Structure 1
Amino acid sequence: MGPDFRFILRVLAAHKMLILFIVVLLTAVTAFGVSLLKDQYTSEALLLVDNRQVRVVRAEDQALGSIPAEDAAILSEIEILKSTAVLARAVEDLKLATNPEFNPPIQADETKPLVERTTAFLRDKAHVIWGEELPGPVTAILAHGDGMTKDTLAREAHASAGIDGVLDRLRRKLDVAIVGRSRVIQVRYTGKDPELSRDIVATIVRRYMETRQQMDRDLSTSAVAWLQDRIGTLRKEVAEADQRVEAIRFKAGLVKGGNGLMATGELEAARLRLAEASANRARMVAQAETLERRGGQAGSIASPVVAQLRATVAAISTEMAQLSRQYGPKHPRILELQARLSEANSSMQMEMRREINGVREAANVAVEQENALKAMITKLEAGYQTMAGEAVPLRTLESEATAKRTLLDSLMARLEEVSAQQDNRAFPTAVKLVSEPQVPHEPSGPFRILLLIAGLAASVFIAVFTVFGIELLQRRIRTPETVRRILGVGNVHIVPHHSTRGARGRLYQIFQNHPFSLFSESLRALFRNHLSDLGPVGSIAVTSARPQDGKTSMSLAVAQVAAQAGRRVVVVDTDFRRSRIDGLFNLSAKKGLSDWIAGTATLDEIVHSSDDVPFAMIPAGHLMPETLDRFNVDGLVHLMAGLSPHFDLVVFDTAPALAVSDARIVCGAASKVLFVSRWGHTTASDLQAVADLGPIDHDKFVAVMTDVNLKKAASRGYEGPYNSYMATRKYYGDSTMRATP
């Protein structure tokens, strides 16, 4: 149903003094502790994780790549900053091992180990007991203690000489972290001395930069050394591979030329010449056949001599045609021209036959040359097939030699790049100093006001937690709901606490003296609501779970109420082991119920009266062995039958139900069972134990919670009718009002 804020406030109000005490105490302790704190000064430096730098070679040709600016890389730089190597060098530079803030001196009492003090104490006691001469076993024990003392001193001396403690103190005050989601690393140190804080941050940053620079140099040096070693090895391997290739080539006759193997080049050249010869042969044969087919016509022969002769014949023929018109055929000039024309034609025919024969001869030569080239190619191809078996391993060796030579060239280029990069690493490749540490002028802490506020808030929280812890751990019965839940009864009657109660067990006197009080009204309500309908003769068994729950007081109070209501009441004490009525009314010397059970007394002898109360009483009497054996339900029924002529109500004061079985016998014989639980005294486990005894007869079972502090219960927010009781308490007037005589 949600939290009950009224209950929470009532609980807090009920424990306000406890809360106030805890808050004041813890706040005072916090203020005292804060006053002892000394001012702290923080110095810081900023480092940027960045890859940008001057490149000697191209970025894609870098032999040593830079660190990527990722989260893992930045965290790696932080771990290097906090590493023992960097911090130890800073401790050594600043001589922090001798600084009292980092290595406080050991007190005189602390330097003496516990073993040494114990051994000295045992030695003194041994000398007191045995004197100067100690027994052998005691001497051996003391010698063993001395040896342990020496070992302890040696370990302490070793620990004080080391810097482990100094490094631990340094790390506790050193803060190295990433600034937001950037690539900036913040190095901060908080100490009591501002100048020392600045020196520590500056030294750590400087040593870190030197460490990173040395790491880069070592990396470059190792890379150069490895490249040089690898290059020397590859040079030898390349030389050996070339020697093996040449040896196999000369052995197989595979001489290598400028453009490859000589055999292969020769074959290709022969094939090229064959192609040229075939083309030339085809051209010459075609030319010869054309000339022969045309019969040696002058126009088909491209020869300068033939052309010149053809021009001479044409000139003579022209001149002779011109002269033939003027002179007759017998003219000497005409005859001369005819002779010259015949001689020119004869020379031209002779030259044409010589040209045709030359063309034919050239065609025959081309055919022979083509045949010769074909024969040579056939021979070369046969030889090349013979050498193919030797060329396969040669090509393998040549490939290996080429690969090694390529790798050698690449490594030599890398060696030059790395050597150039070594001169470029004056600072770490990936880290740059952005802000140098400064001497702080204002203290960075402690925040005393915030600490006081936090102490106050913590004290309030602890106080509230303590109060509700006490409430949650409370196992005492304080609400009727708890009784109903555990015992399974319908309702629980509440009898409030009376502040003027006085002596223990005298509730009947309070009822007599304060008849108008809330306490007296609650007893009247109990009798009228639950105990007035018992018939002509009734019996009530008053019991509880444990001793001191107020059952005897309730028995007498119920008897008082019933007697004042006009009933004839007798109170029977059945608690044979720890009788309370005997002591209250001085009945110890008189006979009681045990005597009647044993048969040594009659009913008239065991019933007693007193001037102080309006009811009769039967004491428990002296406990005898046969009393418990004969105490049963039948005996109680016989007792009530004997008392019925003289009394209207019998009230049995029983023993605790969890202590002995007598209470269960009385409850079985009685008409009503009045179960008493005391507020703040009876526990839930007691009620659970009562419920575990057996089923409860709810028709005659009446649960009563006595001694209820209504004011405290209402102020602490307990559930139940406490608020209504408190609201109507003024109706009853002054609780100390007495009855008028």
Structure 2
Amino acid sequence: MTAPRETASPMFERPVESRPPQENRPALRTAAPIAAPIEPEGSGLAAALTAIRRRRWVLLACALVFPCLAILAASLMTPRYTATATVLVEAAEGPDGSRAGLPQDEATTEALVASQAEVVRSLSVARRIVRQLDLTHSPEFAWWLGGTARPGWGAALARPLAAPLAAIAPGLASWLGVAAPAPRPPEERAELAAAEAVRDRLQASPVPRSRVLALGFTAEDPRLAMEGANLAAELYVGDQRELKFAALRQASEWLDGRANQLRQELARTEARIAELRAALGGRGAPAPTADQLGRATAELAEARAALGQVEARLAALRGGEPAAPPPPALAQQRAQRDQAQQELDRLAEALGAGHPDLRAARSRLQELDRAVGAETSRAAEALETEARALRARIRGLEDLLRPPERAGQGPAAEIRLAALEREAEASRSLLRAVTERAQKTLSEVAIERPDARLLSPAALPGAPSSPRTPLLALGAAALGIGCGLLLIWLLETTDGTLHSGEDVRAGLGLPCLALVPMLRRHLLGRQLVEDYVVRKPLSPFAESMRTLRAALWLGAEPPRVVVVTAARPAEGKTTTAVALARSAAMNGERVLLVDCDVRQPSLGRVFRCEGAPGVTDLLLGQAVLERIIRRDHLSSLDYIPAGAAEIHSLGLFMSEAMVGMLDRIRRDYDLVVLDAPPVLAMADARVVARLADATLICIRWRDTPRSVVSRSLDLLEEAHARIIGATLTQVDARAHGRSGSADAELHHPRYSGYFRE
């Protein structure tokens, strides 16, 4: 029933109402706030996996593009080779087998080895490598020979363009980092610049939990890399040996100088003693007794015999006679020298002339030769000193046995003689101590080893060390996966479209009545989408229409007049309205489809009745209802086209004629479907929705923003329309089936037996 009309009031002032009074108040939706993001089904890990599965192509593209770019960049880079030699840092063993100089604490040992690594990478070592390998003439280490202001990974690409680009466009060459070859700097600066480049390529890293240093050198030429690593190890070991030998030589030289000084002082003291004794004998010293003369005679004989032996040993030592027994220290050094000579001969037969071990053996033999010569000189000087002392003793004994010429001698001279003799004895003791220490130092020089030795020389590298294409590709793949995940997160965060029925309920507060699948071209062929529900009644598309009709019928108050609308054009509302009406008609219901989209009518195109009279003609009073109702040629559906285009359609839909038409068709049909225009496009949709029993809004799957749909729902609610739910249209069954949503279960292959395409 309709409300009574006030004859005195204009038409636009009366309240337009078509629904029964109990349906005047619409059921408001409980929509989520506009700013609330749409979360996928589940939470935490499940939601993340669902998002990744839905956008897996983004992740796959990033995981493939990044490694491809990395491989391309690696192919453009100049390959470099790294050769590695290992050196053991250790202390030398003394004659007693004990280790000296190396701390036993592990932390201190690691600190010592780390400091030795910095010694290897010192600028002095780098400069000697540059000099010996002549790297100031290598473009790899001499940037002035390359064509770039500074070396870099793009130098190989820039060098061919350096000269022509710098001549044509110097500004562009400077901006690109490409310059013509620079003039050669002075020799000192050139060597320093090359040494800095060498130090950047020289690696020295301690091996964990050991005293081993790994010395690596990187170069574009593999042989140069091997030579650089071996030379760095050789220089380091040689420096360690030279430092230790220099310290020992310095101590030996100081001891030799001190011994010479003591010998000179002893010689002067003995000469003064002899002069004093001679002076005492000439002044009439007391005549010796018979016992004193006997002892003096015996001592004289022993002194002469000892002098003969010393002179014989001295002559044999100077002449190099092997029959003469040398001093123990000299004999030991000669034996070590012979062993070193044998070792050198053995290495010379087994190794090449430039091998580090052969050079080390040759250096050790030279050191032993110098030690033997120095020890021989010391032994000769000691014998000469002993011979001088014996001669002075013999002269004193001879003077004692010679008959005295004078008698009488003062006690002061005897006291001075005793003091000189004590001073001479102290000098002899000190000289012996210094001589023994000098001999021990020479022995240490002969047997001392450096604090480092070469474990294994560097071999010729067979494969480049950089770029490491597999590792670079693997890292790029990991980076691509990370960027892909980040991109997926950004897409999910910024994506305001609706992907499932859960999104519709969570984001809009409306039930999702059906998911209308998208019909692909190979399924449609030449037929229209609206005809598919009739042509394929057992298809998933037809089943979605039946699901929608069931949802309308199963409500507490099944509506008879249903408005099908959308927020904006191209949402599939007309297709849904036609397919829903035809599906209901095929079920045996009396169904009427009315085209209320006057500005862009679609039923004339679907049913091939363009230009036929319709709703506007009826509302204008130019046609009667029975003459404008037409029958569908594929089903028992009745439909009314839009009719003539009318710019004042809003006034027509708000008229009494529209209310009367709806009241009449409500009595004659089980279901009336009104195809209304988009809500945001025209106000006609809100008026028609206000007059109908229920409003169904169509939302394009993964296309229409939620904010747009929310705005259209707000407008419908302001018009007091009864919004019973929404339907997602043009759903990609394959993509939605892989999304992980709960309503995607229908697209699982296990349900394929229920449908026929």
- TM (norm. structure 2) is 0.50
| Per-residue Cα deviation, 1:46-77 (whole angstroms, up to 9, x for no partner) | 263869999xxxx9xxxxxxxx9576665555
Specify the alignment match of 1:440 in structure 2.
459
Pairs within 5 Å for 1:384-423: none
Q: What is the CA distance between 1:554 and its match in structure 2?
A: 0.5
The structure number with the bigger radius of gyration is 1
Is the aligned partner of 1:494 residue 2:545?
no
User: Does the aligned pair in 2 maintain the 1:12–1:467 contact within 8 Å?
Assistant: no
Specify the alignment match of 1:180 in structure 2.
208
Q: 1:485 aligns with which of 481, 484, 506?
A: 506
Q: What is the CA distance between 1:483 and its match in structure 2?
A: 1.7
Is the aligned partner of 1:714 residue 2:755?
no
Specify the alignment match of 1:386 in structure 2.
none
| Structure 1: gaps of 5 or more residues | 60-67, 120-144, 220-422, 737-741
Is the aligned partner of 1:93 residue 2:144?
no
Q: What is the CA distance between 1:495 and its match in structure 2?
A: 3.3
Pairs within 5 Å for 1:697-736: 700-715=723-738, 717-723=740-746, 726-732=749-755, 735-736=756-757
User: Does the aligned pair in 1 maintain the 2:62–2:480 contact within 8 Å?
Assistant: no
User: Does the aligned pair in 1 maintain the 2:141–2:194 contact within 8 Å?
Assistant: yes
Q: What is the CA distance between 1:557 and its match in structure 2?
A: 0.8
- 2:73, 2:166 → 1: CA distance? 36
Specify the alignment match of 1:43 in structure 2.
84
- 1:648, 1:203 → 2: CA distance? 100
Q: 1:473 aligns with which of 484, 491, 507?
A: 491
Deviates more, 1:156-165 or 1:431-440: 156-165
Q: 1:479 to 1:469 in 2, by over 3 A?
A: farther
Pairs within 5 Å for 1:488-567: 488-498=509-519, 501-502=523-524, 506-531=528-553, 538-567=560-589
- TM (norm. structure 1) is 0.51
**Secondary structure at 2:697 match in 1:** strand
**Secondary structure at 1:483 match in 2:** helix
Specify the alignment match of 1:614 in structure 2.
636
**Secondary structure at 2:633 match in 1:** coil
Pairs within 5 Å for 1:77-476: 77-84=116-123, 86-102=125-141, 105-106=146-147, 109-112=160-163, 116-118=167-169, 156-157=182-183, 170-171=198-199, 173-182=201-210, 184-191=212-219, 193=221, 195-204=223-232, 432-435=451-454, 438-441=457-460, 443=462, 466=484, 473=491, 475=495
| Per-residue Cα deviation, 1:343-394 (whole angstroms, up to 9, x for no partner) | xxxxxxxxxxxxxxxxxxxxxxxxxxxxxxxxxxxxxxxxxxxxxxxxxxxx
Deviates more, 1:23-32 or 1:653-662: 23-32
User: Does the aligned pair in 1 maintain the 2:74–2:469 contact within 8 Å?
Assistant: no
- 1:146, 1:526 → 2: CA distance? 67
Q: 1:712 to 1:88 in 2, by over 3 A?
A: same
Q: 1:91 to 1:694 in 2, by over 3 A?
A: farther
Pairs within 5 Å for 1:691-702: 700-702=723-725
Q: What is the CA distance between 1:597 and its match in structure 2?
A: 5.8
**Secondary structure at 1:728 match in 2:** helix
Specify the alignment match of 1:583 in structure 2.
605
Q: Which amino acid aligns with 1:714?
A: G
**Secondary structure at 1:558 match in 2:** helix
Deviates more, 1:474-483 or 1:464-473: 464-473
Q: What is the CA distance between 1:480 and its match in structure 2?
A: 1.9
Task: Provide the identity percentage.
Answer: 23
Q: Which amino acid aligns with 1:713?
A: H
User: Does the aligned pair in 2 maintain the 1:30–1:455 contact within 8 Å?
Assistant: yes
Pairs within 5 Å for 1:623-702: 623-628=645-650, 631-632=653-654, 637-641=659-663, 643-644=665-666, 646-684=668-706, 686-687=708-709, 690=712, 700-702=723-725
- 1:162, 1:588 → 2: CA distance? 90
Q: Which amino acid aligns with 1:186?
A: A
- 2:751, 2:480 → 1: CA distance? 36
**Secondary structure at 1:720 match in 2:** helix
| Per-residue Cα deviation, 1:449-480 (whole angstroms, up to 9, x for no partner) | x9659857975995798599669836454422
Aligned residue-pair number: 497
- 2:190, 2:681 → 1: CA distance? 69
Q: 1:602 to 1:435 in 2, by over 3 A?
A: same
- 1:562, 1:147 → 2: CA distance? 76
**Secondary structure at 1:705 match in 2:** strand
**Secondary structure at 2:688 match in 1:** helix
Q: What is the CA distance between 1:540 and its match in structure 2?
A: 0.9
Q: What is the CA distance between 1:117 and its match in structure 2?
A: 3.4
- 2:618, 2:192 → 1: CA distance? 88
Specify the alignment match of 1:237 in structure 2.
none
Q: What is the CA distance between 1:582 and its match in structure 2?
A: 3.4
| Per-residue Cα deviation, 1:524-556 (whole angstroms, up to 9, x for no partner) | 232133147798982111123343221110100
- 1:31, 1:536 → 2: CA distance? 65
Deviates more, 1:3-12 or 1:508-517: 3-12
Q: What is the CA distance between 1:561 and its match in structure 2?
A: 2.0
Q: Which amino acid aligns with 1:485?
A: A
Q: CA RMSD in A?
A: 6.1
Q: 1:464 to 1:176 in 2, by over 3 A?
A: closer
User: Does the aligned pair in 2 maintain the 1:607–1:617 contact within 8 Å?
Assistant: yes
Deviates more, 1:198-207 or 1:650-659: 198-207
Q: 1:501 to 1:591 in 2, by over 3 A?
A: farther
- 1:89, 1:83 → 2: CA distance? 10
Q: Which amino acid aligns with 1:557?
A: A
Q: Which amino acid aligns with 1:706?
A: T
User: Does the aligned pair in 1 maintain the 2:593–2:674 contact within 8 Å?
Assistant: yes
Q: 1:607 to 1:156 in 2, by over 3 A?
A: farther
**Secondary structure at 1:572 match in 2:** strand
Q: What is the CA distance between 1:9 and its match in structure 2?
A: 11
User: Does the aligned pair in 1 maintain the 2:89–2:451 contact within 8 Å?
Assistant: yes
| Structure 2: gaps of 5 or more residues | 1-41, 101-106, 148-157, 248-441
**Secondary structure at 2:736 match in 1:** helix
- 2:173, 2:530 → 1: CA distance? 78
Q: What is the CA distance between 1:704 and its match in structure 2?
A: 1.9
| Per-residue Cα deviation, 1:197-255 (whole angstroms, up to 9, x for no partner) | 34323444566689999999999xxxxxxxxxxxxxxxxxxxxxxxxxxxxxxxxxxxx
| Per-residue Cα deviation, 1:95-116 (whole angstroms, up to 9, x for no partner) | 2233355458446752147575
User: Does the aligned pair in 1 maintain the 2:65–2:480 contact within 8 Å?
Assistant: no
**Secondary structure at 1:656 match in 2:** coil
Q: 1:153 to 1:16 in 2, by over 3 A?
A: closer
- 1:157, 1:595 → 2: CA distance? 94
Q: 1:656 to 1:516 in 2, by over 3 A?
A: same
